[in-house]
Structure 1
Amino acid sequence: MLWRFAPMIYGPTVLFGLGEGALLPLLPVIAESLGASLAQAALLASVIVVARLIGNLPAGWLVARIGERYTMAVAGGLALAGAFGVIFSDGLIGLAVSVFAIGLCASAFGLARHAFMTTRVPLRYRARALSVLGGSFRLGMFTGPFVAAGVLAVWGEERAVAWFFVGALVALVVLVLTGRDPEDVLAAEGSAPRHPAASAEAREGVFRSMWRHRRVLATLGVSTAALSAMRQARVYLLPLWGVSLTLDAQTIALIVGVTGALEFALFYSSGQIMDRWGRLWACLPSMVLMGGAFLGLAFTHDLAASTMWFLVGAIVVGVGNGLSSGILMTLGADVAPPQDPAAFLGSWRMLADAGAASAPLIISAVTALASLPVACGVIGVIGLAGALGFGRTVPRYVPHHR
């Protein structure tokens, strides 16, 4: 099934990730061109994270009501409006609203495909399928900045990259609306989903689903939030660490680039591990590696070989994050109600995005109150605490993958 429908299953994710990955690094530059201060530019870049967090619950409701195909089409239209807003905004408020709309759509795209995989993909290769889905997004985000560099080299204007995002979104909407819909094709062939969908009357609302599954969300869900916090922390903490060591921008970019390459290279390994040996064998090593790397890095700042330890720590973080590809989606699919997963997955993804949104706030607050090494140590402790949480909750809620 995955080979037959690969363009429809993974294509929208690659296209959206490619466009978003090209645009995100230039948002602060566009904001500064409109008169934003450095602090305002940084705040604008975080708007998209907040929008993802807020958008998960309405996205869960929308997927449950109109299906994942039409949800992606609606989200594509809204994202197009946001992309045009980025191009034509002449003030910071308009730019912020446009970026917020793009963030809402990112939630809808992610949740729509997650819900489809939950109901359609057989359990024996679910983790690999979801790891490839995660890898598809990473591919877009990894190559997007290089595309942006090429666009800038040709046109020399930051907003030209937003036009590239428009092109990616148009291709995405056309693919979603005209491509073979896996749901329709499989239904015509008489291939029913593993778990028949619930009727419209039997579907739970988002908040009712959240209350019904509050125990798993408050336990396993909190551990996944810790994992999301670790992932987001590396985006902020590694460049800040390089700056604190007075490294030049080229060296910092090279070290962070090596980390990104490792993360992308290992995305399929995570799915193989989870399908063959169980979910715990991926999430525990991932959290221990990332948490241990950040905690150890906190004690190397003033050493003579601090740059070498920075490189070692970044590599370990990259390996740990690479092994975590698809974990959040796989665990969410494992514990979601099989007949009606969308509403639950909205809450699940909201928790994960809440963890991601909290990481830069924690780093900023602890650095201001103490120092960057202390902030690095706190992030490491959060990672190790998340590993303990996974060790206790994964065997309880995902018993067939101990």
Structure 2
Amino acid sequence: MGNRRWIILCIAVVSQIASVGALFGVPFVLPALREEFGLSIAQAGTLAGLPALGLLTTLFGWGVVIDRYGERFTMAVSLALTAGCLALLGTADGVFGAGAVLVCVGASGGPVNAAGGRLVMSWFEVRRRGLAMGIRQTAQPLGIGGSAALMPLVAERWGFVAAMTLPAVLAVGMVPLVLVFARPPRTADSAPDGGAEAGSSPTHRDSLAETTARSPYRHAVIWRVHGASMLLGVPQFSVMTYALVYLVSEHGWSAPSAGAAVAVTQACGAMSRMVLGVVSDRMGNRLRPVRVLALLSAAALLLLSLSPALVPEASVPLLLACLVLAVSHNGLTFTAVAETAGMAWSGRAMAAQNSLQALSNTLTPVLMGVVITWLGIDAIYAAAALFCAAAAAVVPAGARARGVCRHSR
């Protein structure tokens, strides 16, 4: 299993990068989108949230498909459909046609995250799962960073539609690799827990081995993890959606320069997910670091909202710091949800996690559009800080969710 598991992990990461580019690439071409359709910042931000709306409408159904037909089938179908929908952008008629296609992109691209995460978790035992899932969850900031670095350049030269073909090309390239390699571990290759290495101690067996069909949603812990993730999705999507346009409109940066800066922060965010994965392995707790991150993010966002009036030169550094903090928690919460749910429910639980985050991502541009219209762009950071504070209160950092860190007992 040693080498095969790392191949599986690489395929899961790159597949998710393609999906992330499709789902979350629109914010990085907002200037081109506004120019093409004559939109305000608030209107363009709402359009950027439409893939999340499509994601929301289909994710739980995709979770059932994952549990029934497996990760390989689901990932391959999703990547192929995503590429096909992106290809339709060139034929869309006006802003409403483009919006409809973006909804379809979200509906098609959602299950790659849950399916890839479930596949990786089945190949890694619990004592290494924080690291593995931390690496796996670097796909989101890396996908966002790659989109921020490349898509503004393409959009500036060839337009919005051309920029959105980049994730389509990557998705098409990943389909054959998924079909060949993305298989769950054979029984003979794995220990009885379904995820640990052969010969590992029974003390390393974890809740993913449990095949009980009893719903984990009878208990409050998993709902609190979902709730914290949903609340943290508001600042994450707020900062990401408006970062490039904030640097361009408020600080006079060019779109490619702003995109490059955002890309650097996403690379740092990817590193933070790996580091926090290792920390959670050693602490024996996935959720306590999430509370710390939520409090730090709240403080940084509040300072950012006040900086134009108090210390204007601090605005850009604070924005970049908030971009890193905003993406750091996902690997921890995603792993905690799957471990709490157990293998029989993991596909549906991870899909539910993504669905709630998609709901957050869908509503965030609408909410923040109202805030920008009435109070200005700086006010969205103060509003986002409130959601971070609420998440810190909701996350069950002191609770030991079923399956989380059982190896530490």
Fold shared by both chains (TM-score > 0.5): yes
The answer for the alignment partner of 1:266 in structure 2 is 272
For 1:392 and 1:338, the matched residues in 2 are separated by 22
Corresponding residue of 2:236: 231
Q: CA deviation at 1:288?
A: 1.4
Find the partner of 1:107 among 87, 101, 110.
110
Matches within 5 A, 1:99-138: 99-138=102-141
Alpha-carbon deviation of 1:69?
0.8
Hey, what's the Cα distance between the residues in 2 that align with 1:4 and 1:258?
Answer: 26
Task: Kindly state the Cα deviation for residue 8 of structure 1 after the two structures are TM-superposed.
Answer: 3.3
Percent identity, aligned pairs only, is: 18
What CA deviation, in whole Å up to 9, does each residue of 1:11-60 have, x standing for no partner? 32234345666666347735753x45336544322111212222221111
1:135-159 Cα shifts (integer Å, max 9, x gaps): 1232222123433356568x73543
Instruction: Provide the rounded CA distance (Å) in 1 between the counterparts of 2:273 and 2:389.
Output: 21
| Distance apart, 1:249 and its partner CA | 2.6
Q: CA deviation at 1:163?
A: 4.0
Deviation at 1:399, TM superposition (A): 6.9
The secondary structure found in structure 2 opposite 1:266 is: helix
Q: In the alignment, which residue of structure 2 is the partner of 1:358? A: 363
- Equivalent position of 1:171 in the other structure: 173
Structure 2: how far apart are the matches of 1:215 and 1:315? 35
Residue 156 of structure 1 corresponds to 158
| 1:59–1:108 Cα contact (<8 Å) kept | yes
Aligned alpha-carbon RMSD (Å): 3.4
Report which stretch shifted further, 370-379 or 50-59: 370-379
Q: 1:382 aligns with which of 383, 387, 392?
A: 387
Q: Tell me, yes or no, if the aligned pair for 1:291 and 1:379 is still in contact at 8 Å.
A: yes
Q: Is the 8 A contact 1:19 1:168 kept in 2?
A: no
Corresponding position of 2:303: 296
Structure 1: 5+ residue stretches without partners: none
Structure-2 change in CA distance of 1:76 and 1:254 (3 Å): closer
TM-score, length basis structure 2: 0.80
Report what 2:183 is aligned to: 182
Aligned to 2:205: none
Task: Tell whether the 8 Å contact from 1:75 to 1:108 is kept in structure 2 after alignment.
Answer: yes
Letter in 1 for 2:277: G
Structure 1 counterpart SS, 2:307: coil
Equivalent of residue 279 in structure 1, options 286, 289, 311: 286
What is the TM-score with the length of structure 1 in the denominator?
A: 0.82
Deviation of residue 3 (structure 1)?
2.0
Contact 1:16 1:172 in 2 (8 A): no
Instruction: Please give the alpha-carbon distance, in whole angstroms, between the structure 2 residues aligned to 1:376 and 1:80.
Output: 34
2:253 aligned to which of 238, 249, 253: 249
Q: 1:53 to 1:394 in 2, by over 3 A?
A: farther
Residues 158 and 390 (structure 1 numbering): CA distance in 2 closer, same or farther, change over 3 Å?
Answer: closer
Are the equivalent residues in 2 in contact too, given 1:85–1:94 (CA < 8 A)? no
Counterpart of 2:347? Answer: 342
Number of equivalenced pairs: 387
**One-letter identity of the residue aligned with 1:262:** C
